[in-house]
Chains A and B, each alone.
Chain A
Amino acid sequence: MSKLNILFKEAKKNKKKIFIGFVTSGDPNYKSSKEIMKEMTKSCQIIEAGQSFSTSTSDSPIIMEANDRAINSGMNMKKTFKLIKEVKRETKTNTCFVIMTYLNPVKIFGLKKFVNQCNFVGIDGVIIVDSNLNSPEEKILINGLSKNKIGYVKIISPTNDDEFIKQSIKNCHDSWLYITSYYGLTGSKNVNINNVKAMIKRVRKYSKDIPVAVGFGVKTPSQVKQVSKYADGVICGSTIVNKVAQGHKKRLKGKKLATFVSSYVKKLSKGIRK
């Protein structure tokens, strides 16, 4: 069983919910990003580290700009692994780390090499936004990750049909099902609670116990609280990345930028229903 799976199981047993924070790896640069992630381990049970792709087809302008900052600062997959490894070593944290990216960077890095590196660094889960459910790459990833007890997260949205949801539950391995609260881009609207309730109901038709975490448009502690009423986990992404951008504009760097971002993340995480 993966560390992610254990985390969700334990939380369920103790009637607790999981807070997941997304941040773009290497934004605005390696050094500051490392400090941000180190600070975020204090309030996030899971950190999703976004590995940028220049031609992303699903990100909001906020994340696109972060992608540009990270890529321009020389970030790549190899450096993301190094960064997470250092964060883990320097904080000795229990926080789980998930890499969220697109298939091109993974494929160019090498699918098998990617799985091996995840194992070596101690990555707990992987999200690949554009990996098709039936593609050969998906099969290689599922096999490789499951052999190494690394979780594989799949994303579903309110417009997906039941067949797609069933297949996503099947492909989702040793982790959680990522529900987007609306159709559209990350962070472009506010969370839609009615969609969340309906989606969880649909998922439960096919799986009684797969953990579900909700993202897209969760921007305030009260929204975190509202979502955590229904979901096992709550994901905040664009709102955190936006904070990084704000700090960067104020010319904050390193630990100062990290404190600026993490105090905001801490506030968000307090929304989690106790």
Chain B
Amino acid sequence: MKIPPFKEINPPTKDGFWINKKTKERFGGQYISPLLVPNLKRVEKGFFKAIKDKKFMTELNEELLSFIGVNTPVHFSPELTKLAGGEKKIGKIYLKRTDLHTNHSHKPVSAYSSCKLAKYLGFKKILTETGAFQNGRAVASACAALGLDLDIYVGAKDAKKLAINKDISALHGANIIEVHDSTKSLLPAMAAALRAFQSEPDSMYVVGSVAGPMPYPLLVRTFASVIGRITKKQFKDLVGKDPSTIFCVCGGGSNMLSIQYPYLRTKNTKLYAVESAGKGLKTGKHGATIGGGGKMGILLGMQSKVLLAGENIAESFTEASGLDFSSIGPEVAYLQSIGRIKFLTATDLEAKKTFMMMARKVGLICAIEACYVIHAAIKEIRKIGKPKQNHLIHLCGAGEPNVAQMMEHMKKNK
């Protein structure tokens, strides 16, 4: 297996924006304190040097294949196909299994690549943030393998919820810093990591999503797109053509772009993103930036769609820590604004029911985040209702960290 090379098919402008020509909206940019400018410049310059460096890329790809196990399968799911209405009505449903990576989510690909870049550039320490601790754990494992120190910033609320991944990160030697600011979730954790980056220019910030100031949205999606590049080849080998649809869950958008990026110019493939509707969009307690009517705003160094509360950032709400984010990455927001990606939502309860269905009927314990997309995808595939279609769902994480939460749900609903 050889990882297909990266091709830039959706470049931002020189100053780092994706611009919707019709609405003139600008997504991305670098809106940060002048104190952070040199740090970002160093990362940006180093990133472009590294991805052109054949030795670096060959080594990285080899390690992604061996250590991360990036060549996870794409396979037909007879159970989900049947559940959605059967092959004659809806075609076939396939799963991309990034839950089978080392560290059990899509995150390790960009996490390992970013840490490898940090080492290449001579940094000794990594700073990162985490929500569901999928990124935290992935970065902790990468830092252990590469001999780098690590500080993980996590919202105090999330730290309590996801004990296993937190413990695993600590076992890898990571220093875990709980953030007690504002909503005590992913957003203030990311702000805290950025503040730490401002104080420690000799450490490199590793972002867990396709968000933040440039070059991070570009860097993360470029590294993460290894998943989509492999998927594109696997799917063609398996089915003979590209998928009719690809469904992904969307918090910041990293798992979405990781698989959908190579398909952005594949006209026959419809792209979908699923946000968390939390307790329901109408209740106002949700994590759906697009579904909940997010507006253009500037936060964490980027201009993108944001859930606002007056001049400030609104609190998002969802039981899936990985989706508890009041904004989305700028490239994702741009792709939504030009109509390339269609957004759907699923509620927390729907995701929990889907978790149980996957456990009982399919035999998989999925990350709760992945259950939002499975629920919404089945609903949408039924709506499309055409035979001879080939649908692909990104199963982006394993559900061990959610076991305690789901046991509680099971007991309550007996």
Residues of A within 8 A of B (CB): 52-59, 64, 68, 71, 76-77, 102-105, 107-109, 129-132, 134-136, 154-157, 159-161, 164, 168, 180, 183-185, 188
Contacts and interface: CB of A to CB of B under 8 A. Distances in A.
Given A53-B312, A76-B311, A160 B195 contact: no
Contacts of B38: 159-161, 164
Interface in B292-332: 296-301, 306, 308, 310-313
Nearest to A184: B199
Given A102-B298, A132-B29, A135-B29, A68 B181 contact: yes
Interface stretch (B4-12, B154-162, B186-194, B261-269): B186-194
Size category of the B interface is: 35 or more
B176 interface: no
Contact of B26 (A55, A136, A157, A161): A136
Most buried by A among B199, B296, B310: B310
A103 B298 contact: yes
A105 B33 contact: no
A131 B34 CA distance: 9
Interface in B277-299: 296-299
B297 A157 contact: no
Nearest to B30: A132
Contacts of B76: none
Interface in B43-61: none
A25 to B, nearest CB: 12
Interface in B7-28: 15, 26
B201 interface: yes
Contact of A55 (B33, B39, B187): B187
A52 B195 CA distance: 16
A173 to B, nearest CB: 16
B29 A55 contact: no
Contacts of A71: 312
Nearest to A59: B195
A188 B199 CA distance: 9
A55 B201 contact: no
A57 B300 contact: yes
Interface of B: 15, 26, 29-39, 181-182, 187-188, 191, 194-195, 198-199, 201, 296-301, 306, 308, 310-313
A12 B30 CA distance: 36
A59 B306 CA distance: 21
A183 to B, nearest CB: 5
A55 B34 contact: no
Given A55-B299, A160-B37, A183-B201, A103 B31 contact: yes
Contacts of B310: 76, 108
A183 B37 contact: no
B300 A53 contact: no
A56 B300 CA distance: 8
Given A57-B194, A103-B298, A130-B33, 8 more contacts: A54-B182, A56-B191, A104-B299, A104-B313, A105-B311, A132-B32, A160-B38, A185-B195
Contacts of B181: 64, 68
The 6 closest A-B pairs by CB, nearest first: A105-B311, A54-B312, A58-B33, A184-B199, A104-B298, A57-B194
B33 A57 contact: yes
Contacts of A108: 297, 308, 310-311
A105 to B, nearest CB: 4
Contact of A135 (B31, B198, B299): B31
A156 to B, nearest CB: 6
Given A102-B298, A185-B199, A188-B199, A156 B311 contact: no
A153 B199 CA distance: 22
28 contacts: A52-B312, A54-B182, A54-B312, A54-B313, A55-B187, A55-B188, A57-B191, A68-B181, A77-B311, A104-B299, A104-B306, A104-B312, A104-B313, A105-B311, A107-B296, A132-B31, A135-B31, A157-B35, A159-B35, A159-B38, A159-B39, A160-B34, A164-B34, A164-B38, A183-B201, A184-B35, A185-B195, A185-B198
Contacts of A102: 298
A214 B63 CA distance: 48
Nearest to B199: A184
Most buried by B among A55, A59, A130, A155: A55
Nearest to B194: A57
Contacts of B308: 108
Contacts of B199: 183-185, 188
